Amino acid sequence: MASNKILLIGGGGHCKSVLDSLIGLNLYSDIAIIDKRENVGKNILDVPIIGTDEELEEFINKGFHSAFITVGSVGNPEPRIKLHQLITAFGFHIPVIVDKSAVIGSDTKFGEGVFVGKRAIVNAGSVINSCAILNSGAIIEHDCNVGEYAHVASGVVLAGGVKIGNNAHIGAQTVIRQNLSIGEGTIIGIGSVVVKSIGNNAVAYGNPCEIVK
């Protein structure tokens, strides 16, 4: 019989968001969390932290065949990338988790490990690549492309056809004009208004958004 137990990897604030969505979806018979050794035995939203990532094989043997990365990222996706490699190597199924209040348009595509938070909108024709985070209330308009491990934070608005590079962070409440692109690894500060494309590995913020690093 197929198991529908899932391990969440990382027990911080982002875990709480994903967990709350997951509980609301009621898709799994058993949810458990993996975190640092010192947190084992604690609970998040009444869900137990049962071990560390050193014991992943043991949890597979206990029927946890799905895993999801719940370590967050604000500008440093490296831990999420490493965890993705780790759980892939162990052969876990990595689902897409879409909060039940999110609105998803037609002909959208999602890579594994994507999280779509509360009241986020992904409009028709958009592609969201593996392990990207679309946080609460983000609006991804039609025909956007969000790169792997990118984090589109709470309340961001991507107008139509915007491209976000892999590993980028788009700060909360930022607005990006249609058809622009944000480069790989670039951080856009909170509350920015982006009116021209920004290249790779920059830090940029403000209205109008300008590169500062």
Ligand X SMILES: CC(=O)SCCNC(=O)CCNC(=O)[C@H](O)C(C)(C)COP(=O)(O)OP(=O)(O)OC[C@H]1O[C@@H](n2cnc3c(N)ncnc32)[C@H](O)[C@@H]1OP(=O)(O)O
75 is in an annotated binding site: yes
Binding mask 86-125 for ligand X (x = CB under 6 A): ----------------------------------------
Shortest distance, position 80 Cβ to ligand X, whole Å = 14
User: Annotation-wise, does 14 bind a ligand?
Assistant: no
142 is catalytic: yes
* Distance (Å, whole) CA 13 – CA 19: 10
Interface with ligand X, residue 31, by CB under 6 A? no
Residues 6+ away with beta carbon under 8 Å from 127: 108, 109, 144, 145, 146
Q: Which residues contact 137 (CB under 8 A, 6 or more apart)?
A: 117, 118, 119, 120, 154, 155
Q: Which is nearer to ligand X, 51 or 165 (CB)?
A: 165
* CA-to-CA dists, residue 157 to 83, 127, 136, 164, 176, angstroms: 28, 15, 11, 12, 6
Is 74 a binding residue for ligand X by CB under 6 A? The answer is yes
Q: Indicate whether 189 belongs to the interface with ligand X (CB under 6 A).
A: yes
Q: For residue 148, what are its two tokens? A: 């792997």
Which residues in 123-142 contact ligand X (CB under 6 A)? 135
- The dihedrals phi and psi of 86, each to the nearest 5 degrees, come to -65, -50
Residue nearer to ligand X on the CB measure, 122 or 170:
170
Supply the residues annotated as catalytic: 142
Would you list which residues are annotated within the binding site for acetyl-CoA?
151
